[in-house]
Structure 1
Amino acid sequence: MDKPVVAIVGAHNSGKTTFIEKVVNILSSEGYNVCYIKHDPKGKAKTDTEGKDSYKVYQAGSKQVIVASPDKVSSFVRMRDYTLFDIIKNFTTQDIDIIIVEGFKTVKGIDKFEVIRKEENRQLMISKEGGLVGVITDYYQYNLTFDINNPQEFVIYLKNNYIKR
């Protein structure tokens, strides 16, 4: 391993997080980039929730917080001036078949599908020039339209047009 690793261990509620929070605060205030990895063996952690360990250590200045549970790994990274493509390049795993992004409506270079419902009573936010490919809706007419109440229809479209197997 090319990076030094130390473990702070102890019983539940022994003060591990409070101690780590302070250590991270000091190191980060001195310009060090700290990655905090929290093991969650029972999968009960709520990440990015005020008062939780991951939140506290991130607020203390940790560059990265990772929470490792039996069936998922959550990561929070302190970054500035990043693009959607930086996120995709640096944080997605190699075995991903498709990336579905929520938001980033102004990013150029990705296909967009806008959700619009009748009760919103508005026009589309994205144009074809802005990357709009289709609309997911319960009323709106567009060249390519998907029924908001039938997500399987959109899944089939994705499999036929985006996912390569």
Structure 2
Amino acid sequence: MNPLLYKAHPLLYLSVDLLIHPSAHPVDDFSRLILIYLVINLLWMAAFRLAVRRTVGIRLTPLSAYGLALPSALFYAPLMLTVLNDVLAHAFRLEERYILIFVIAVAAQMLAALYAAVIRFDRTGQPIGVRAGIAISLFLLLSSIPFGFLLLGLNAALRII
């Protein structure tokens, strides 16, 4: 059994299963998952715009912020939903979730490197740098905790996934 998928949230399980076994799912599953991620990304876009504006003083357009925030929504949403679901159920055990916590830490570092290289100052065209990239990535990681609780509540009420 994959330790990443041990008692995983349905969003994480469906995302990984669609990547591993795409022929086993109808097109509706792909469409639904893409739509879920695109809607979820609205939360991360707002946090991303705030983080970039506060960290480096750059005002991004909503469209560019939406595109740049999409990787963080793809990484953080399913992983944090799994961890927070365990926390709410009082079933979080580090020996069961250490790989998941490690994946979250690696995702934060990868996103920091991405944002450090991709986001550029308007006037000079220079990248913002690793320090600002880490600040933005960690801000999005910390923002994903309340977003995760919000998404778990919406999912409990509406049964989206």
Q: TM-score range by the shorter chain?
A: under 0.3
User: Relative contact order (C-alpha < 8 Å, sep 6+): which is higher?
Assistant: 2
Task: Output the TM-score relative to the length of structure 1.
Answer: 0.24
Q: Give the structure with higher Rg (CA).
A: 1
Higher helix share: 2
